[in-house]
Structure 1
Amino acid sequence: MSIQSLIIDCDPGVDDAVALFLAFAAPELEVLAVTTVGGNVPGALTQRNARMMRQIAGREDVPVFGGAERPLKRPPAGAGDFHGAEGLGDLEPFAPTGIIADGPAANAIVDLVMKRPAGSVAVAVLGPMTNLALAMKRERRLAEHLGPVVVMGGARSEGGNVTASAEFNIWADPDAAAVVFGAGCEVIAFGLDATHQVRATEDRIRAIEKIRTEPARTTAALLRFSQRTERQATGEAAPPLHDPCPIAWLMRPDLFTLKPCRIEVETNSELTRGHTAVEFRVDPAAARHRWAVAADAQGVFDLLAETLKAKK
């Protein structure tokens, strides 16, 4: 089995937390670091929440670096309505014992990627892309040295979840997203078109509730919170599971269908701020972007359950 080295850039966030548990337990992944960004909740909370999840998972070996607390050019946004005031639903916050690593997230990304062979380190961006954009601005060679950048963000046929055409992570910092998509590195994007197919049904939540590990119990509690908020917001009984999708793809690419494309981000219009223009009329051999169009939802949840059951 080949092992993929990985940096996780995130803004925990309920579904970010589930993604962290999946990655921490995955034998296919070597998690080099977690970097945090202001997004779903302010940066101080995303930093603490990442350290909480690290402690629950028993992965104190993984450093957590704090990152950007605001977008490149815009005021901070937030999504507390879907994640709770503290970012972790109903979970009672606690002060993690593990400390935050020295230095800003952007510097950590550059250092970890550039000291390893070109193409060997993937970056999973599960929140606004501010940290990675800052890292690219600091080190101009970073884009060509990166492995795949796997992103949860964007919307095409599904429409947006913040505005008619924009998904939250891209909308929150469209300028950073434009930097990353325009950098020339390989980007695999899991937008709402795919993640809305991966829904936490009652049977899928119950399957995770049966697993007797602390990460699984916490995951189930987070999914129950998402179930309630989704029902209140949309009337749907099964919430989508967004951020674990890029992690699941790194572990099991066969669970998703991807199409070569070119992705550009709207930064000038407030009406369509953060819109992802996904163009499939490209030369597949030359395309640097891929867009997830379909997901094996049951396969993703089976992978989550199996991995949490046999955690490292």
Structure 2
Amino acid sequence: MTAPDAAGPGSVIPVPVVLDCDPGHDDAVAILLAVASPAVDLRAVTTTFGNCSVEDATRNALRVLTLVGAHDVPVGAGAAGPLRGEAALGNYVHGVSGLDGPAMPEPAFAARPEGAVAVLAEAVSSADRPVTVVATGPITNVATLLTEHPGIAGSIAEVVFMGGSTERGNHTPTAEFNTFADPEALDVVLRSGLPVRMVGLNLTHQALATPDVVARMLALDTAVGRTCAEWMGFFGSSYRALWEFEAPPVHDPCTIAALVRPGLLTWREAFVAVELEGRWTRGTTVVDLHHRYPDPPNARVAMTLDAEGFWDLVLDAVDRLGG
């Protein structure tokens, strides 16, 4: 689904995208940005455990799409847990529902019965050009897609994932939540040979929803703007209590921003691995920025963000969606 190009004359050739997510307040903003942008052809939204149970994540994705009238986007429910071990959930950040805060509409349509992997496979294989896979939760569904449909890699342009860090973690001192939740799945993706871009905490901690940003959301005086502001209020209270942030970092829409306006982010090529066994470090991303290992680069790692340009982009998207 695409929106009209308000930037001026000329056509936009949108990037075909599937968004695998676990909404989550920041995932919800990523969905809004993908729906609103004329640079994105959102071919499907699939869900996974992560910020909440997969059942809640699916309901939340349907509610967000209902909020903006995007009933034509196929939704598929996916993994309830990781490839190995028990599911870790982030309700301690996002609340009982995974999207606590403002009242939301009930879903106006249902998820597809065949589930996430089948929805992803159909969306990717039916496109007229390679599709970008964006993952903003544990990357279990994407790893399963590559394992169960090995020939589909030729129809994938790249995988852009929110996860990991070049620095410290958040779920543990060294591991970011998404990579901790299913490191085996991330290992599958990193070893797949596909082009991979990593948008980690070192980048997303630059995307802070400051009081000025929230005020701009409210000033739009629309249902979507007010909803986003209330999301940031709940999300922000969690970040103040848990990590002493004055404003919450809105991680997931950074992945979509990288596609819509590439100049907002800078990148470094690096070898990236994920720790699978460490007693204290499981799920930690090892990012070799200085070529200390003999392994060649297998990912592009996001390093800096033009935060002002990022929020201009997000707020323009929210304004387009109105309501």
**Cα 1:93–1:210 shift into 2, 3 Å:** closer
User: What residue number does 2:280 align with?
Assistant: 271
User: What residue number does 2:79 align with?
Assistant: 68
- Aligned AA for 1:237? E
| Contact residue 26 and residue 311 of structure 1 kept, 8 A | no
Is 1:40 the counterpart of 2:39? The answer is: no
User: What residue number does 2:175 align with?
Assistant: 166
> How far apart in 2 are the matches of 1:200 and 1:150?
22
Q: What secondary structure does 1:198 align onto?
A: coil
> How far apart in 2 are the matches of 1:73 and 1:53?
30
**Cα 1:67–1:260 shift into 2, 3 Å:** same
User: What residue number does 1:145 align with?
Assistant: 155
- Deviation string 1:118-174 (CA, Å, 9 cap, x unpaired) is 5x21111000000001101111122332112111000122x0001121100010011
Q: 5 Å matches for 1:1-312? A: 1-92=12-103, 95-117=106-128, 120-157=130-167, 159-281=168-290, 287-311=297-321
- Aligned AA for 2:33? L
Q: TM-score normalised to the size of structure 1?
A: 0.94
Q: What secondary structure does 1:156 align onto?
A: coil
Shift of residue 262 of structure 1?
1.6
Stretches of structure 2 that go unaligned for 5 or more consecutive residues are: 1-11
Q: What secondary structure does 1:175 align onto?
A: helix
> How far apart in 2 are the matches of 1:267 and 1:287?
19
> How far apart in 2 are the matches of 1:100 and 1:310?
25
| Contact residue 154 and residue 169 of structure 1 kept, 8 A | yes
> How far apart in 2 are the matches of 1:197 and 1:4?
25
| Contact residue 57 and residue 214 of structure 1 kept, 8 A | no
The total of aligned residue pairs comes to 308
- Deviation string 1:89-108 (CA, Å, 9 cap, x unpaired) is 21335531211112121122
> How far apart in 2 are the matches of 1:138 and 1:180?
13
| Contact residue 198 and residue 242 of structure 1 kept, 8 A | yes
> How far apart in 2 are the matches of 1:183 and 1:80?
31
Tell me the C-alpha RMSD between the 2 structures.
1.7
| Contact residue 132 and residue 157 of structure 2 kept, 8 A | yes
Q: TM-score normalised to the size of structure 2?
A: 0.91
Stretches of structure 1 that go unaligned for 5 or more consecutive residues are: none
